[in-house]
Amino acid sequence: CVVREVREETGIEAKPVRLVGVYKNMNLAVVSLAFLCGPVGGELRTSDESSVATWLTPEEAIERCPEARGVRIKDALSNDGPHVRAHDGTSLLPGN
């Protein structure tokens, strides 16, 4: 699924490397899995599901994200995990 979604939204062919974490949005009762992927082909573009597609450094991406999304990037760059975290859609909940 992650390969398909990355391709559909960005035009990039991705290869999953490892599971980064399990992220629980407690307000919406939604669980998301995040994977570290590497680009292996394709051409960066927007789609019906994305209005902007650009390459960013991890620091730039973290800066532009709400905490609950930025932590996924930090988790992907760490050598431990997979992580299990709970959030409210924007901020991590205490203990995460």
State how far the Cα of 81 lies from the Cα of 92, in Å rounded to an integer: 17
Question: Global pTM?
Answer: 0.86
For 62, residues 6+ apart whose C-beta sits below 8 A from its C-beta are 70, 73, 74
pLDDT band at 26 (very low <50, low <70, confident <90, very high): very high
Q: What is the mean pLDDT of residues 7-28?
A: 96
Residue 31 pLDDT > 90, yes or no?
A: yes
pLDDT band at 95 (very low <50, low <70, confident <90, very high): confident
State how far the Cα of 7 lies from the Cα of 49, in Å rounded to an integer: 11
pLDDT at 35: 97
Q: What is the mean pLDDT of residues 83-94?
A: 93
